Structures are given as C-alpha cells and as structure tokens.
C-alpha cells in the first residue's frame, strides 16, 4: 500500500510538472498562402513532411523567422524569438548535437525547454519558448510549441541549421525564400546562378546522382527547378498559356499509373499521374488528379522534359506557385511555398 501511495504521489507530481509547461504560439498552422510578412508573433505554417530528402533549417535573426526545407523546398516557416542584447544568438552553421523532448534548463531555474534541439554545448538550442515579437531569449531560438513539436519529430541528429543576420550573412540566407539558399548537407551557401539570357535550360544531374526528386514551378518567374537530394540539378524556362488564369499554390505527388492520352509536354510519351496533396488552407483539393488540360497550359523545352521524365517515379513532389521565387524578383521578402504529406491510401 505504501508503494502504491508513493507511485500515485509521484504520478501526481509528474502530472503537475507537465501541466505547468506553457504552450507558446498558435496551436494550428496558418493557411499556406499566408504571406510570411503577415505572420504575427507566435504564428507559423507547416505544410507537412513526406520525409524524402535532407532536412535543413535557416534562421534569420534579422527577420525573426525560420524556414524549414526538405529536399530543397520549404515545408514550414515560423516566427521566432532569438537572443536579446547581451545574450545574442550566434550566427553560423550548426548541426543538431542532442535532442530532448522534455528538457529543462540547468542554468535558469529548471525553466522548461520543450522539444529542445541543441546547437552548441554551451547552451544554444532550438526549443519551444516565448514569442513576444522581438529578441528576448538568453541565446536560444524560441519556436511556437506545436511547430517545435513538428520539427522535433521530423528532424534527425546532425541536421544542418544556419543562423543568419544582415551584414554577417549572404542576402539570400538572411532573407530565405522558396528556394533553399544553402547546401542542406553542409550549410554552405548554394550560390546557384540564374539562367543566362537566351539560355532555355540547364541540366546537370551529375551534381547529385541519387536520392529523392522534388520540383518547383513558378509561373511568375517562368521557371521550373528540379532538385535531387536537396541539390538543384536543373532548371528551365517555361511559358504559361492563358497567364491571366492563376495556377494557384498547389502541391502534387506522382502516383502509380499514367494520365490518359498523349503527354502534352512531350508528344509520343506518357505523363505519370499527379495527385493533389493537401496543404493548410486547401484541404478540399486533396486527392484530385491533375488533368491534361492543366498540364497543357505549361510549355517546356522538349529536351528538358525528356531528361526529367525518367525521374518522375511515385513519390516525387512538385510545388506550383504564381509567386516569384528567384531572389532578384522577391525583393528580399520570403515567399511561402510548401510541401505536404501525401494523401492516405
């Protein structure tokens, strides 16, 4: 009986301690088409994660935001709060050294640090924490609680985290957008140049010879970009027929089978089935197949299509946006384009 009472007492004490942990930030994702500049402190967007390809995080001290990339494309963005004056968050390239879901500070009165992911051994980490809209931490990167949980579940030991700041970091890393600005394996700046004037496409599959493939198509920029294992291996100019009709922010995944009829992009071949996958704010579209009438609106050089077509195996994700994604057209403002979970079979 004494042991039972002791066990019950410990259980109650643990329950009290757990319930005392605050919940910071919004409990649900904002819609995927929310401009990131309009996210209020504590708000975030998470489009899901098909866990294909390397994961990397870019934290901008200047913007007080963080962008999470999977296989070269952003799957989430959040407001953050970083180190205040005297406790500034260091800039640079870090990797996750330790993960602890229920961590408490060994320095600041056992303060809760849920979903802690350690960046340095002297106390800098990603974790759930206060989000007043300005730097107020003791050096850590504070995240909304639910976003911190999602990132914790998706990440792995050794994941690259780049912390950037105006004047100390490259422009595209300080203002991260729809194209990953770093090598997700090393954290080094990607520095991939745009297409030359008159150049229709670029194709260098040797830059990344294996791994999952993802695709980003920007109607505004008139470009489609192909990533393999988080590294850009090709891009091409595209022409959108009836440009006055928006394509919208959509995510698609290659399913088994082929679209009926001839491939509109390359006559004489077959186009795999593309199924719409849900992102926050567009759930009703999930599961709809992409029809040839939509594919026919996109004009891409035949040689580029022929090169990419063999890579379109089940599981390949494509993100489509009407927004600009090239750094020279975004004016330094991040653009939100999201990956998502494939529909349940």
Q: Which of 63, 70, 124, 136 is nearest to 93 (CA)?
A: 124
CA distance 273 to 184: 29
Please say if the pLDDT value at position 288 is more than 50: yes
d(CA 145, CA 112): 11
pLDDT tens for 174-228 read: 999 888 999 999 999 987 788 999 999 999 999 999 999 999 999 889 999 999 9
- Using a CB cutoff of 8 Å and minimum separation of 24, what contacts does 287-296 make? 287/343, 289/255, 289/259, 290/252, 290/259, 291/259, 292/259, 292/260, 292/261, 292/264, 294/247, 295/259, 295/263, 295/264, 295/265, 295/271, 296/241, 296/264
**Which pLDDT tens digit goes with each residue over 295-324?**
888 999 999 999 999 999 999 999 888 888
User: Is-contact 139 89, C-beta < 8 A?
Assistant: yes
Q: Which of 4-13, 45-54, 203-212, 284-293 has the lowest mean pLDDT?
A: 4-13
């Amino acid at each position: 009986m004494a042991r039972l009472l002791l066990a019950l007492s410990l259980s109650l004490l643990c329950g009290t301690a757990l319930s005392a942990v605050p919940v910071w930030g919004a409990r649900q994702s904002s819609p995927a088409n929310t401009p990131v500049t309009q996210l209020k402190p504590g708000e975030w967007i998470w489009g899901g994660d098909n866990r294909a390809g390397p994961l990397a995080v870019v934290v901008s001290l200047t913007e007080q935001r963080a962008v999470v990339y999977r296989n070269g494309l952003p799957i989430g963005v959040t407001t953050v709060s970083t180190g205040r004056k005297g406790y500034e968050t260091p800039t640079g390239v870090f990797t996750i050294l330790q993960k602890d879901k229920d961590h408490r500070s060994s320095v600041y009165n056992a303060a809760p640090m849920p979903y802690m992911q350690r960046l340095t051994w002297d106390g800098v980490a990603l974790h759930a924490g206060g989000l007043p809209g300005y730097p107020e931490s003791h050096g850590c990167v504070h995240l909304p609680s639910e976003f911190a949980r999602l990132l914790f579940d998706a990440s792995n030991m050794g994941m690259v985290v780049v912390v950037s700041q105006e004047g100390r970091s490259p422009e595209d890393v300080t203002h991260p957008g729809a194209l990953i600005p770093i090598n997700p394996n090393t954290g080094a700046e990607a520095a991939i140049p745009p297409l030359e004037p008159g150049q229709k496409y670029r194709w260098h599959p040797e830059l990344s010879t294996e791994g999952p493939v993802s695709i980003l198509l920007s109607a505004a920029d008139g470009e489609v970009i192909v990533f393999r294992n988080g590294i850009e291996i090709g891009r091409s100019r595209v022409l959108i027929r009836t440009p006055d009709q928006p394509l919208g922010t959509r995510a698609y995944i290659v399913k088994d089978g082929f679209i009926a009829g001839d491939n509109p992009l390359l006559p004489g071949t077959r186009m795999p089935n593309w199924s719409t996958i849900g992102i926050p704010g567009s759930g009703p579209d999930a599961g709809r197949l992409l029809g040839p009438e939509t594919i026919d609106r996109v004009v891409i050089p035949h040689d580029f299509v022929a090169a990419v077509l063999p890579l379109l195996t089940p599981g390949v994700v494509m993100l489509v946006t009407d927004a600009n994604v090239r750094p020279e057209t975004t004016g330094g403002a991040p653009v939100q384009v999201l990956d998502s979970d494939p529909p349940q079979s």
